[in-house]
Amino acid sequence: MMRIIPWIAFAVLWSAPAMSAPAMAASSVYEGKNISFVVGLAPGGGYDIYARLLARYFPKYVPGNPKVIVENRLGAASGTAATYVYRVAPKDGTVVGVTLEILPLYQKMFAERVSFDMSKVHWIGNMATMNSMIAVSDQSPVKRIDDMTKYETNLGSTGVLSLTYIVPALLNALHGAKFKIVTGYRGTSEIDLAIERGELHGAGGQWTRYVSGRPDWITSGKIMPLLQFGLDDDPLMKGTPQLLSLAATDEQRAIYRIISSAPRFARAMWVAPEVPADRVEILRTAFAQALQDPGFLADARKANLDISPTSVDDVQSAAADIAATPQQHLQMLRELLKDHK
């Protein structure tokens, strides 16, 4: 099953403004040019699949009909891509970042480790609001969340910047879980190959990667969601416990709520702060229109891709909320994860 917001509801949600005269004038910069979607994870994973689908429809809504290419820049759990877009790439609206949903929070926790500020970027939009999760295979000794303190379980991770690392590490520290976190994977597709080979018992990420990429794993019971984290229950993981439900103290509840806000960036795209406002407007309008395109929606449906966008205002608001996270909660996260950096 997948979610696609009906066209009318989506149009109301976005309320994309008509392009202004200055924006029309600035659009000539795209004629004969390329727009790069810089994806911070490996080809074949969820972020990459969404970016490549959008790349097929995005150009027709950008005046000048530029070509859109998808570029994968791996490293530091998408931190390498974020640094490139924020610091190095041209600031003319031709380079768009597609990075992990956790980066706005991670930069607040470990500012010394990053060279970007996600609270200052211009968000273009979010294609899907999907909860993250920890999933386990049928070979895992952990079958239910109560088992996590009884058995050692190998979970794959793309790195310490990722929720695939942070959440298991918190569960180990706060609840005595016995997750062994194995890092070094370039993306979720590599992790899933390791699960298939029996090298891992499971991993974090978004459940939709199995819904769209390995539905046979779900129907056969080879993979199952163990825990989800989001501000609302994901209908695709009905009955799966929420991270927030594990909180035993107000401090834990505050930390888990911060982490559970990450789905609002689940498939978000952004440009650097220096990109001119008129070009940001062009990109936002094209993004909103492409997500209404009947061909785009049909292809998403065929691929079982969840299309449940959030507005630019909501994404910007989520980034602002994370930026305003109380220091005592950030410090608690730093202390809990300091031995895992």
What pLDDT, on the 0 to 100 scale, is given for residue 24? 54
**Per-residue pLDDT, 85:** 98
pLDDT of residue 161: 73
Report how far residue 9's alpha carbon sits from residue 23's, in angstroms, rounded to the nearest whole number. Answer: 26
pLDDT for residue 39:
98
Query: In what order do the strands lie in the sheet containing 122-126?
Result: 67-72, 34-39, 95-98, 268-271, 122-126
User: What is the spatial distance between Cα 196 and Cα 222, in angstroms, rounded to a whole number?
Assistant: 9
Cα 298 to the center of its chain, rounded Å: 22
CA distance 256 to 243: 7
pLDDT of residue 20: 52
pLDDT for res 98:
98
- Give me the pLDDT at residue 206, please: 87
Tokens of 108: 């607040």
Whole-Å CA distances, 128 to 123, 234, 267, 326: 14, 12, 5, 27
In this structure, how many other beta carbons lie within 10 angstroms of the beta carbon of residue 34? 13
Distance set, CA 316 to CA 32, 66, 142, 181, 221 (Å): 31, 27, 37, 32, 38
Residue numbers in the chain where pLDDT is lower than 50: 6-17, 23, 341
pLDDT tens column, 267-315: 999 999 999 999 999 999 999 999 999 999 999 999 889 899 988 988 9
pLDDT score at 159: 82
The per-residue pLDDT for 150 is: 97
**pLDDT (0 to 100) of residue 3:** 63
Q: What is the pLDDT of residue 188?
A: 86
User: Where do the domains of the chain lie, and which CATH numbers do they carry?
Assistant: 7-129+264-331 (3.40.190.150), 132-261 (3.40.190.10)
**C-alpha–C-alpha distance, residues 270 and 78, integer Å:** 13
